[in-house]
Chain A
Amino acid sequence: MRSATAWFAAASLAAAAWAPAAKLDSAALAGLRARAIGPAAFGGRIEAIDASGKNPKLIYVGAAGGGVWKSIDGGVTFKPVFEKFTQSIGAVAIDQAHPDTVWVGTGEGDTRNSVSIGSGLYKTNDGGDDWELVGLADSERIARVAVDPSDSNTVYAAALGHLWSDGGERGLFKTSDGGRTWKKVLVGANASTGCSDVAIDPKDPKVLYAALWDFRRSPDFFRSGGAGSGLFRSTDGGEHWARLRQGLPEGELGRIAIAVAPSRPRTVYATVESKKTGLYRSDDGGESWRLVSTSFNVGVRPFYFSHLAVDPGNPERVYKPGFMLTVSEDGGKSFSGSGFNFGSYHSDTHALWIDPANGDHLMLGTDGGVYATWDRGGHWMFVRTLPVAQPYRVALDDEEPYHVYGGFQDNGCWYGPSSGAGGIGNDDWKNFGFGDGMYTFPDPEDPNIIYWEYQGGEIYKFFKRTRETKQIRPYPQKGDKTLRFNWESPLAISPTEPRTLYAGAQYLFASTDRGESWQQISGDLTTDNSALQRQVESGGLTPDDSSAENHCTIYVIAPSPLDQKVIWVGTDDGNLQVTRDGGAHWQNVVARVPGVPRGTWVSGIEASRFDAGTAYATFDGHARGDMHTYVYRTTDFGQTWTPLATADVQGYAHVLREDPKSASLLYLGTEQGLYISIDGGKEWAQFTGNLPKVPVRDIAIHPRESDLVLATHGRGFYVVDDVSVLRQLTPEVLASEVTVLSSRPTYLRIPFQEQAWNGDGDYVGENPSDSVVIDFYRSKRRLLGESRIEIDDASGRKVATLPGSNRKGVNRVLWNPHLKPPKTAVGAGLAVGALFGPTAPVGTYTVKVIDGEKTYTGKVTLAPDPRLRYSEADIAARQDALIRLYAMQEDLAYLTDAVTAVREQAEERAGKLGRTALSKRLRKLSGDLDTLHKTLVTTHPPLEGMPADADRQLREWVTDLFGAINGFGGRPSAGQLAQIPVLGNRLDAARKDYEKLVAPLPDLNRDLSKKSLAPLAAPTREQWEKQQAS
């Protein structure tokens, strides 16, 4: 049995003997916290919604790329509960018998080109605090989870399996022991078939309906339907299955969605994709079926709109979420037109929840977020608290604060500020593009122009001031019928010639007049393999030509920041091309990249800022079933390539960015997150600081602020503020116990408090801190013993002490740059103006990280806000005014305490004396002091904690003036400055009054001592100061 002392000794000895290994790991980076900035003004694709039938305030939402969100207040606010796991969600099911138990199937089931991948089936037993992976880790995507209403331990999971290759866990899986073991109960006929839906008869839970779906996606093609598809029924809880055929279409089937009418379970509906897709209905528990509708929304894009629902109380009311939500009131015979209330909610609807106790209350999940209705779709309320947007690209401008621009899956293009009043609100985001937003960036010279595009090469420019939009896409020239643009077609601006734009189809185009005209500057840079150009036939049973499978196209354009004639191009069919003469000659260098299978999609190229021959390339083979991470560097214009991906990096690679200042600092975005290397790619550490496990599609670094901005496909934008510290993480620093790092200067800012009481129903993106940021590196967590941070001004005077920060790795501590607040006279109500001390003067401060006996020092700079051009004289006038008012407040505080002390003593002595001449003198003194006291501070009852307005006394005037001058960074107004001596004179007069009143104290005290009473005495200033400090 070990004693406590042994524990402690062990800990301290271990600390002493600790030998540092100078390797950057995730822990070292996690102290740099990414802040989520939204947007939530619009949503992202929603795949699943479930709520508790007994308590509809409890809601779970599963986003296609944005994780699982829980609301316990009926959808006013949501919080993310699935941050540590893949954010791609296919299914969410609450165990209605025990609503703290929730099942989450990861991996989106609506298999569009841009879907992510899942990692299995998860279960929580405590409302989402803790999750356990319970199986199907290799299913890649789970389309539905159904809990047996009569037995919480029996659960069915519809596993689709791999989208881009054979294999993985496919079919219907069943557990009878709460997830401990799983049995595959329904298997497809081939390796491209999985289970796409399952429904349980609520009255007889042994009766199950399940759909198998034969499907496959490749970079250039999608197939929905095949020999494996079919509709099945089991009547013994999944032991035996029968394929249902009677009345259903002959021939190959595609995707099938199933819904059992809860109030009459013999009635079952199914949308069945076939040559003639329609809604089928059975009234005999699936035995026989009849076609009831082939209306538009019933048949539209069956692979993408895979949900069907029946009203809980009315078996004839059927909902089909499709392009719009459509409803039938007559058992499927007729459907509402193009949906109801077209336009008020986002199109492309995927998930629908119907309140089992109130069929008028629905929640709808769309490509643009979650909506709720309480009048059965008459009117919808948008949920504005879910930051699940799916940007493809990110760009920044150089305004102050800078703006973040991006194109979003099915939500057009938007820009918003990197900080806002009280946070970045939904209304701070401005929309300007439509469709599936892709590359979006401001013109580097004309802030009125934003370039943007939607899918398939539709390029526009937007004029901010007038909100006009002009199409500027390149058109096919001679010989070509069409141009082949990728879904995410590339658009780039020349870093050396800001009026030059590049766009890529199969050719590279350049424009030197802001897109007004284009010149083709290459031949076909792709393989032009006709076998891979099948977009028109793509879709399978239902043609689906959305440009998502456009292939043999340019995907990346990377002009060199150093040499205008050097341009890199990568194609989706695996060509990596470079020109060194502005496009006259091109060389395909992909064969020189070792280890990448031929034809692998080039996902990213970064041309170095430090050396014209250096570039980085990432490859992404996931759409051919290859999930490897491919990252390379060349230093000789592509003649040789070095692999940079290590075993520490997971996920197929999207983008690599070089730090603008440090050539060895690299940022890598993969499907599994953000990775950082400080040694040019030899070692990588995953960045996990407040960043969920979300795909990082694009990365931008703000050159002025050194902010790292991430486009995450499912959680909007994240900002890691000031990554300049990473440039300082040398091996020596990593080997040190503590090193104070230098951070970017902090601008002295007085935050604006906006009056906005909008309730809790709006998302607010996080602002950067207004405080001074102190960064230091610590090699090991420190829990024991004194640890603090002191800040000294240039003269060596200590201006602040902060508690120590003790995490392993980079520690980020905030110092709110205010000096100590003045001591304030005690009066009725808070003297708000005196709560904060004066803002600290701008300048350089010394930071001391003090660990017990050891002190580590560094510097931080508090700089004037560059937007505010106050002269030094103005700043000095403000500082001088603050110092004078500060001193006046402390003088007044002392005077007030002295007055109170003598008054109370006089009252007390008088009380002991009874009615005597002496007591009369004492009471007279007390009364006079009380009268004086009432001129020093307000004594009226405060209003809501604040001093009564009509009873402003000296304290209120002085503290208000102090607060007002402190609340503005420039020269105080002439009126304010003139007021200081006025108040000063009042204070002097009060002091004189006091001195006059206490002049007779020696006489009084003599008489008091005759009565054996203690003398009256105010504390001296010195005593008072000491008392205040304790």
Chain B
Amino acid sequence: MRLSVKGLFAAASMALAATAAFGEEPAAKTADDVVAKFIAARGGMEKMKAIQSLEMKFKANQQGLEFPGKMDLKRPGKMRLEMTIQGKTMVQGYDGKTAWMIMPFLGSPDPQVMSADEAKEVIEQADMDGPMVDAKAKGNTVELLGQEDVEGSPAYKLKVTLKNGDISYAYIDTDTGLEVKETSKRKKQGSEIEVDSYFTNYKPVNGVLIPFTIENKVQGKSMGQFTVDDVAANVPIDDAIFSMPAAAPKAPAPAEKEKKTEKDVK
């Protein structure tokens, strides 16, 4: 599952600046130009950084199944993701230190620390602005590789090398400056998985454009779609929800009886 908000694009009020000149923007020459265009398309750094937290409700569609989910993001670099199936909730969280998860379907309600490989993805998602913003400070590098067609329209292709060595490619629509696609290569257990994420249905949230639909594809085949139903920015979120909780408390009375039953079964 991957719901990235790395396309927090700045919004720009529709009503404004209708008189602004357009059509004469020179082609971006460098990676910095494209990233600047991309940040500008998001509404500029100021509005982006003004968003301190985000609470997003979404639906995940995977091969005909639909699950509701929720993602909380808070600066600096905290995230929590929930997806609910038949009343049971899967949780992934990161508080800036520990990436953890709860996978109740596998029988354990207890939180587990994520493996380093799995954690990478969560830590990346916790970066609200995405790896291209403040790249240098984050230890990431961004290179412009040229232009490429994405779904029938031209896009700038940027190569983003994360501090940890993982590589992704960001495709920025030459027309709007919005990110239309990201290809990320993840190394997992000595293997490499390449996922293409497509971003559409951009809508403004506190003046910042957010893609309300993300579709993930592997080798051109859809692996799942995430559709945002509702977003609230800058609502207070308790820091505690990002930290790994203690083991699940056992329900009082019934637990006692369950023990008995277990014995009975044995």
Contact = CB atoms under 8 A, between A and B. Distances in A.
Interface of A: 2-14, 26-28, 30-31, 33, 72-73, 79, 126, 129-130, 690, 766, 771, 780-788, 802-809, 814, 816, 818, 820-821, 824-826, 829-831, 834-836, 907, 923, 926-927, 930, 939-945, 950
Given A9-B12, A808-B152, A907-B253, A824 B86 contact: yes
A5 B153 contact: no
Given A33-B220, A783-B200, A4 B14 contact: no
16 contacts: A4-B41, A10-B21, A11-B41, A11-B175, A14-B175, A27-B153, A30-B149, A72-B192, A73-B190, A783-B202, A802-B61, A803-B61, A803-B225, A826-B88, A829-B107, A940-B261
A806 B254 CA distance: 52
Given A803-B213, A945-B105, A4 B175 contact: no
Interface stretch (B63-71, B115-123, B234-242): B63-71
Contacts of B196: none
Interface stretch (B75-83, B94-102, B130-138, B176-184): B176-184
Nearest to A807: B151
Contact of B253 (A10, A129, A803, A926): A926
B266 interface: no
B252 A7 contact: no
For chain B, what secondary structure do more than half of its interface residues adopt (helix, strand, loop), or is it mixed?
A: mixed
B200 A782 contact: yes
B56 interface: no
A781 B167 contact: no
Contact of A786 (B17, B169, B192, B203): B203
Contacts of A33: 220
B10 interface: yes
Contacts of A808: 151-153
A804 B192 contact: no
Contact of B200 (A9, A806, A824): A806
Contacts of B64: 771, 816, 818, 836
Nearest to A784: B202
| Most-contacted residue by chain A among B61, B151, B222 (CB, 10 A) | B151
A785 B201 contact: yes
Contact of A785 (B22, B152, B202, B262): B202
| Most-contacted residue by chain A among B16, B201, B227 (CB, 10 A) | B201
B63 A6 contact: no
B169 A129 contact: yes
A73 B191 contact: yes
B40 interface: yes
B176 A11 contact: yes
Contacts of A766: 221
Given A130-B159, A803-B227, A824-B87, A6 B191 contact: no
Contact of A804 (B11, B185, B201): B201
Contacts of B106: 944-945
A771 B222 CA distance: 12
A690 B220 CA distance: 8
A926 B254 CA distance: 9
Given A784-B209, A786-B201, A939-B258, A3 B44 contact: yes
Given A835-B65, A836-B64, A927-B253, A781 B151 contact: yes
Given A14-B22, A830-B85, A9 B14 contact: yes
Contacts, number: 201
B248 interface: no
Contacts of A820: 66
A130 B23 contact: no
Interface of B: 10-14, 16-18, 20-23, 25, 37, 39-44, 47, 61, 63-66, 85-88, 105-107, 145, 149, 151-153, 159, 167, 169, 173, 175-178, 180, 185, 190-192, 194, 199-203, 209, 212-213, 215, 219-222, 225, 227, 252-254, 257-258, 261-262, 265
Instruction: Name the 9 nearest CB pairs between A and B, nearest first.
Output: A27-B152, A8-B12, A10-B22, A816-B64, A826-B87, A6-B20, A807-B151, A808-B152, A5-B12
B22 A787 contact: no
B257 A930 contact: yes
Nearest to A778: B152
Contacts of A923: 253
B87 to A, nearest CB: 3
B195 to A, nearest CB: 13
Given A940-B261, A943-B107, 8 more contacts: A4-B39, A8-B13, A8-B41, A26-B152, A30-B152, A783-B173, A826-B88, A830-B85
Contacts of A26: 152
B14 A12 contact: yes
Contacts of B212: 786
A923 B177 CA distance: 63
Contacts of B265: 940, 950
A159 B112 CA distance: 58
Given A785-B203, A807-B152, A944-B106, A930 B20 contact: no
Nearest to A831: B86
Contacts of B42: 4
A449 B199 CA distance: 50
Given A814-B222, A831-B86, A945-B106, A5 B20 contact: yes
Given A939-B258, A945-B105, A7 B152 contact: no
Contact of A783 (B180, B190, B219, B254): B180
Contacts of B40: 2-4, 6-7
A831 B13 CA distance: 47
B151 A6 contact: no
Given A783-B202, A785-B201, A13 B221 contact: no
Nearest to A927: B253
Nearest to B180: A783
Nearest to A893: B87
A809 B178 CA distance: 19
| Most-contacted residue by chain B among A26, A780, A785, A830 (CB, 10 A) | A785
Contacts of A836: 64-65
Nearest to A923: B253
A13 B18 contact: yes
B252 A907 contact: yes
A785 B176 CA distance: 13
A783 B178 contact: yes
Contact of A4 (B10, B167, B199): B10
